[in-house]
Amino acid sequence: MDKNTRICIVGGGPAGLSAGMYLEQKGYENYTILERLDRVGGKCWSPTYNGRRYEMGAIMGVPSYYAVHDVEEFCGITHDGPKLNRNYKNRQGKVIEPFEPKKNLLKIPRLLKMKKQLKKFGELLETKYKGYDVNGHRGVAEGRYDGFSQTSAKREPIKGENPNLKDLSLPFNEFCKLNGVELIQDIWIGPYTSFGYGYFDEIPAGYVVKYLDFQTCMNFVKINLWTWKNGTQYIWEQLNDHLKHPARLNSTIESVERKDGKVYVTVNGKVEEYDKIIVTAPLYIPNKRTDGQKGMVDYFDAREDEKELFSKIDYERYDVLAVETKPEDHPEISYYVFDNMVPDRLGHLMVYYRRWRDTKDQVITTYALRKHKNTEEVPYEECRKMVLEDLKTMNNPASNVVNEWSVYYFPHVFSKDYADGWYDKVEAMQGKYDTYYAGEVMSFGDMDETAEYSRELVERFF
């Protein structure tokens, strides 16, 4: 492709900013990043309270976040934040240690069985499901893998046939049952469901194991984690500052028309002409959101194939509160509440996070899911009330809510559409209509997977 190609990138989150970085590194400098908000970072949002930043979105990374490390190297920054730790409580607020045999004598047989299944699961992923951990989902429904290996920072291209990969379309609980490793769900649920990515009886296994590949999950278990002193948003603020063409903030795209090999973008009342467009913002949002965010099909001249495929996308309703507590009520550590990570406890507190361990003059953040595929959505206000009541039960009552966010979160498709080859159909459309599709739904909803997909998109098509 001509290095002077005029490229419009929709979205200034990790996917869009990374696309700009990787394009720039390949010699494409005629790009523009349009961001509708007054900040960059997307779901990496780190506001300030009492002089320190806290997290409303992404919290942490792990050493296998290779794309994030690319950004760190590009910007000359590093992961310099507070060390994380956590403990566990039951729904009554009692501290528990679910993985400690000496504290759970009656559960020793189950814990020993879990340990064996964990070893088995690691072996299965490397053998039976070879190729499972390449970024993105292309080929999975056809029993093949085609992408870049995530086993090391080199990310070498690999491809091959593996019919067993079709199993990844099953809901994760069925996938585990099929392989006789049901108990490993007790380990995977912490960094999965509590982080807002849905429940194991509804989400295809492909999402779970591509995000929480064995290496990544073990880093979470061992608390081998990265954080950033100035928050995850700082990573993307720094990247934006280091790009030759930083994102244009407060850019409201009113329409996109694609005709005669050109892309006409009406932004803030003015028409701009491009040759190609990369969409990293949402492709489809099922219901009108109160924050005014729209899906691509609502402001593009969307074609019938785009409308049909993107209408299959759903998303999680994941809510975050930042709350103050009285000093005597401040939690001594972050807590997971496994009892609330099941569908019949929709809307309840799943985890609450203490970022700064050296002071009590900071907020804690709470996280709750209020949607399941087969149940009625819990209204936002009802969920908010339940979370605040749960904090009282946990003996860490809130004295004030200082921030709250109900964000468009983790776009995905369900098992039938995954198995029917949704990803291969969308991948076959890459470049058609001079349009490329990136962002969360094309890989996974964490910052590294989205940035990595942008890297691979640039490698494949530019």
In a domain, 335, yes or no: no
Q: 112 and 213: one domain?
A: yes
- Which pLDDT score is estimated for 200? 98
State the Cα–Cα distance between residues 15 and 438, nearest whole angstrom: 7
Q: What is the CATH number of the domain that holds 187?
A: 1.10.405.20
112 occurs within a structural domain: yes
Tell me if 275 is assigned to some domain: yes
- Tell me whether residue 456 is exposed, middle or buried, using C-beta atoms within 10 angstroms of its C-beta: 0 to 12, 13 to 18, 19 or more: buried
As for how many domains the chain has, the answer is 2
Q: In terms of domains, do 237 and 215 share one? A: no
Q: What is the pLDDT of residue 98?
A: 87
Residue 155: both structure tokens together? 């990310």
Helix H or strand E encompassing 445? none
Confidence at residue 152, expressed as pLDDT on a 0 to 100 scale = 83
Residues 215 and 291 in one domain: no
Tell me, yes or no, whether 217 and 235 share the same domain.
Answer: no
Q: Among 198, 221, 244, identify where a domain stops.
A: 221
**Looking at the structure, do residues 141 and 163 belong to the same domain, yes or no?**
yes
- 32 assigned to some structural domain: yes
Q: CA-CA distances (angstroms) from residue 242 to 20, 250, 292, 436?
A: 11, 19, 30, 24
107, 113 in Cβ contact below 8 A? no
Tens place of pLDDT per residue across the chain (462 aa): 899 999 999 999 999 999 999 999 999 999 999 999 999 999 999 999 999 999 999 999 999 999 999 999 999 999 999 999 999 999 999 999 988 888 778 889 999 999 999 999 999 999 999 999 999 999 999 999 999 988 888 899 999 999 999 999 999 999 999 999 999 999 999 999 999 999 999 999 999 999 999 999 999 999 999 999 999 999 999 999 999 999 999 999 999 999 999 999 999 999 999 999 999 999 999 988 888 899 999 999 999 999 999 999 999 999 999 999 999 999 999 999 999 999 999 999 999 999 999 999 999 999 999 999 988 999 999 999 999 999 999 999 999 999 999 999 999 999 999 999 999 999 999 999 999 999 999 999 999 999 999 999 999 999
Domain that residue 71 falls in? 7-48+67-76+231-313+413-461
Say whether both 431 and 283 belong to one domain: yes
Q: Which residues contact 207 (CB under 8 A, 6 or more apart)?
A: 197, 412, 444
211 and 162 within one domain: yes
Helix, strand, coil % over all residues of the chain, rounded to 5: 35, 20, 40
Handedness of CA 195, 196, 198, 204 (dihedral sign): negative
> Does 292 reside within a domain?
yes
Q: Which helix (H) or strand (E) holds 271?
A: strand 270-274
CB within 8 Å of 200: residues ≥ 6 apart: 171, 172, 173, 176, 185, 188, 189, 192, 193, 208
Q: Are strands 314-324 and 364-369 parallel, antiparallel or unpaired?
A: antiparallel
Give the 3-state secondary structure of residue 343.
Answer: helix
CATH code, 268? 3.50.50.60
Is the domain of 112 the same as that of 189? yes
Residue 135 sits at the vertex; the CA angle it makes with 183 and 373, to the nearest 5 degrees, is 55
Whether residue 297 lies inside any domain: the answer is yes
CB 279 within 8 A of CB 435: yes
pLDDT value of residue 431: 97
Q: Report pLDDT for 288.
A: 83
- Tell me the C-alpha distance between 349 and 370, whole Å: 10
Do residue 294 and residue 424 come from a single domain? yes
CA 90, CA 426: separation in Å to the nearest integer? Answer: 42
Kindly state whether residues 309 and 436 are assigned to the same domain. yes
- Residues forming a β-bridge with 266: 255, 271
Q: Is residue 247 part of a domain?
A: yes
Domain C-terminal end among 173, 203, 221 = 221
- By DSSP bridging, strand 364-369 and strand 276-279 are unpaired
The reported pLDDT for the residue numbered 290 is 84
Do residues 178 and 240 share a domain?
A: no
Tell which of 221, 256, 273 closes a domain.
221
Task: Judge whether 56 lies within some domain.
Answer: no
- Element spanning 383, H or E: helix 380-393
Residues 157 and 139 in one domain: yes
